[in-house]
Amino acid sequence: SRFLRRLWRRVYEHRDALLAAKGIRCNPGAMSETERDLYRKTHETIQHVTSDMDKTFHFNAAIAQIMELMNAIDACDVTTDGTDQQKAVYRTAVETLVILLSPFAPHIAEELWQELGHSPSLLQVAWPEPDADLDFVLWSEWEGDKAAFIASQSSGSFLDGGSSDGA
Protein backbone atom coordinates (compact mmCIF):
# COMPACT_ATOMS: atom_id res chain seq x y z
CA SER A 1 0.00 0.00 0.00
CA ARG A 2 1.03 3.62 -0.49
CA PHE A 3 0.85 4.23 3.24
CA LEU A 4 3.34 1.46 4.07
CA ARG A 5 5.71 2.62 1.30
CA ARG A 6 5.50 6.17 2.66
CA LEU A 7 6.33 5.00 6.18
CA TRP A 8 9.19 2.84 4.91
CA ARG A 9 10.60 5.77 2.90
CA ARG A 10 10.29 8.15 5.87
CA VAL A 11 12.27 5.82 8.16
CA TYR A 12 15.02 5.37 5.59
CA GLU A 13 15.19 9.07 4.67
CA HIS A 14 15.57 10.08 8.33
CA ARG A 15 17.48 7.03 9.54
CA ASP A 16 20.53 9.00 10.72
CA ALA A 17 18.45 11.50 12.72
CA LEU A 18 16.32 8.68 14.16
CA LEU A 19 19.38 6.71 15.26
CA ALA A 20 21.01 9.87 16.68
CA ALA A 21 17.96 10.33 18.93
CA LYS A 22 18.24 6.87 20.47
CA GLY A 23 18.34 7.25 24.24
CA ILE A 24 17.21 10.90 24.30
CA ARG A 25 14.09 11.37 26.43
CA CYS A 26 11.26 13.68 25.45
CA ASN A 27 10.90 16.69 27.74
CA PRO A 28 7.56 18.46 27.11
CA GLY A 29 8.82 21.57 28.91
CA ALA A 30 11.69 22.00 26.45
CA MET A 31 9.66 21.45 23.27
CA SER A 32 8.71 23.96 20.62
CA GLU A 33 5.04 24.28 19.66
CA THR A 34 5.48 21.98 16.64
CA GLU A 35 7.23 19.35 18.74
CA ARG A 36 4.52 19.58 21.42
CA ASP A 37 1.83 19.13 18.76
CA LEU A 38 3.49 15.96 17.48
CA TYR A 39 4.04 14.68 21.03
CA ARG A 40 0.36 15.32 21.85
CA LYS A 41 -0.81 13.70 18.60
CA THR A 42 1.35 10.65 19.36
CA HIS A 43 -0.26 10.16 22.76
CA GLU A 44 -3.77 10.90 21.47
CA THR A 45 -3.19 8.22 18.83
CA ILE A 46 -2.07 5.71 21.46
CA GLN A 47 -5.26 6.42 23.41
CA HIS A 48 -7.56 6.17 20.37
CA VAL A 49 -5.96 3.08 18.80
CA THR A 50 -5.93 1.24 22.13
CA SER A 51 -9.61 2.04 22.65
CA ASP A 52 -10.52 1.16 19.06
CA MET A 53 -8.79 -2.21 19.30
CA ASP A 54 -9.51 -3.26 22.89
CA LYS A 55 -12.96 -1.88 23.59
CA THR A 56 -14.88 -1.25 20.38
CA PHE A 57 -13.09 -3.48 17.83
CA HIS A 58 -13.10 -0.66 15.27
CA PHE A 59 -10.01 -1.75 13.38
CA ASN A 60 -10.62 0.59 10.43
CA ALA A 61 -10.81 3.51 12.86
CA ALA A 62 -7.54 2.38 14.46
CA ILE A 63 -5.82 2.31 11.07
CA ALA A 64 -7.23 5.75 10.26
CA GLN A 65 -5.74 7.10 13.51
CA ILE A 66 -2.36 5.56 12.62
CA MET A 67 -2.52 7.25 9.21
CA GLU A 68 -3.32 10.58 10.88
CA LEU A 69 -0.23 10.17 13.07
CA MET A 70 1.81 9.56 9.92
CA ASN A 71 0.48 12.84 8.50
CA ALA A 72 1.56 14.62 11.70
CA ILE A 73 5.00 13.01 11.45
CA ASP A 74 5.30 14.24 7.86
CA ALA A 75 4.40 17.77 8.98
CA CYS A 76 7.24 17.77 11.55
CA ASP A 77 10.32 17.23 9.43
CA VAL A 78 13.56 16.39 11.21
CA THR A 79 17.20 16.56 10.15
CA THR A 80 20.46 15.48 11.71
CA ASP A 81 21.07 19.20 12.46
CA GLY A 82 17.82 19.45 14.45
CA THR A 83 17.66 19.88 18.21
CA ASP A 84 17.81 16.87 20.51
CA GLN A 85 14.16 17.41 21.50
CA GLN A 86 13.08 17.57 17.86
CA LYS A 87 14.84 14.28 17.11
CA ALA A 88 13.55 12.65 20.31
CA VAL A 89 9.92 13.61 19.63
CA TYR A 90 10.21 12.49 16.01
CA ARG A 91 11.75 9.17 17.02
CA THR A 92 9.10 8.62 19.71
CA ALA A 93 6.34 9.28 17.17
CA VAL A 94 7.86 6.93 14.57
CA GLU A 95 8.52 4.17 17.13
CA THR A 96 4.98 4.50 18.45
CA LEU A 97 3.56 4.34 14.95
CA VAL A 98 5.55 1.15 14.23
CA ILE A 99 4.31 -0.49 17.45
CA LEU A 100 0.69 0.52 16.78
CA LEU A 101 0.98 -0.76 13.21
CA SER A 102 2.41 -4.14 14.23
CA PRO A 103 -0.94 -5.97 14.70
CA PHE A 104 -1.96 -4.97 11.16
CA ALA A 105 1.36 -5.30 9.28
CA PRO A 106 3.64 -7.41 11.51
CA HIS A 107 6.38 -8.16 9.00
CA ILE A 108 7.03 -4.60 7.86
CA ALA A 109 6.71 -3.34 11.45
CA GLU A 110 9.38 -5.82 12.57
CA GLU A 111 11.73 -4.74 9.77
CA LEU A 112 11.25 -1.06 10.61
CA TRP A 113 11.78 -1.81 14.31
CA GLN A 114 15.13 -3.36 13.47
CA GLU A 115 16.02 -0.36 11.28
CA LEU A 116 15.35 1.92 14.24
CA GLY A 117 18.19 0.15 16.04
CA HIS A 118 16.26 -2.21 18.31
CA SER A 119 17.65 -5.70 18.79
CA PRO A 120 14.87 -7.49 20.68
CA SER A 121 11.91 -8.40 18.54
CA LEU A 122 8.92 -6.10 18.36
CA LEU A 123 6.91 -9.00 19.77
CA GLN A 124 8.70 -8.50 23.09
CA VAL A 125 7.85 -4.79 23.35
CA ALA A 126 5.04 -3.62 25.63
CA TRP A 127 2.07 -1.80 24.11
CA PRO A 128 2.57 1.96 24.53
CA GLU A 129 0.67 3.90 27.19
CA PRO A 130 -0.46 7.50 26.72
CA ASP A 131 1.35 10.12 28.81
CA ALA A 132 -0.71 10.37 32.02
CA ASP A 133 0.44 13.96 32.61
CA LEU A 134 -0.87 15.14 29.25
CA ASP A 135 -4.34 16.70 29.15
CA PHE A 136 -5.95 15.97 25.81
CA VAL A 137 -7.82 18.84 24.19
CA LEU A 138 -10.79 17.94 22.05
CA TRP A 139 -12.14 20.44 19.52
CA SER A 140 -15.59 20.52 17.98
CA GLU A 141 -17.67 23.21 16.34
CA TRP A 142 -21.17 24.23 17.29
CA GLU A 143 -23.55 24.42 14.35
CA GLY A 144 -25.13 27.79 15.08
CA ASP A 145 -22.34 30.26 15.67
CA LYS A 146 -19.31 28.07 14.86
CA ALA A 147 -17.84 28.78 18.31
CA ALA A 148 -15.02 26.45 19.34
CA PHE A 149 -15.77 24.22 22.28
CA ILE A 150 -12.85 23.12 24.36
CA ALA A 151 -13.04 20.28 26.82
CA SER A 152 -10.13 19.02 28.82
CA GLN A 153 -10.39 15.31 29.28
CA SER A 154 -8.55 13.30 31.86
CA SER A 155 -9.02 9.59 32.49
CA GLY A 156 -12.03 9.50 30.20
CA SER A 157 -14.20 12.01 32.07
CA PHE A 158 -14.82 15.65 31.18
CA LEU A 159 -13.50 18.09 33.74
CA ASP A 160 -14.48 21.47 32.32
CA GLY A 161 -15.94 22.91 29.17
CA GLY A 162 -16.98 26.20 27.67
CA SER A 163 -16.96 28.16 24.47
CA SER A 164 -14.09 30.27 23.31
CA ASP A 165 -16.27 33.40 23.56
CA GLY A 166 -16.55 33.03 27.34
CA ALA A 167 -20.04 31.52 27.46
**Lowest mean pLDDT segment, chosen from 23-27, 35-39, 120-124, 162-166:** 162-166
Exposure string for 101-122, b = 16+ CB within 10 A, e = fewer:
bbeebeebbbebbeebebeeeb
Confidence of residue 160 (pLDDT cuts 50, 70, 90): very low
The residue among 43, 19, 7, 14 whose CA lies nearest residue 114 is 19
- Between 151 and 15, residue with greater pLDDT: 15
pLDDT at 77: 80
Measure the CA dihedral 41/47/50/52, to 10°.
-90
Report d(CA 151, CA 154) in Å as an integer. Answer: 10
DSSP SS3 for 20: helix
pTM higher than 0.85 for the full model? no
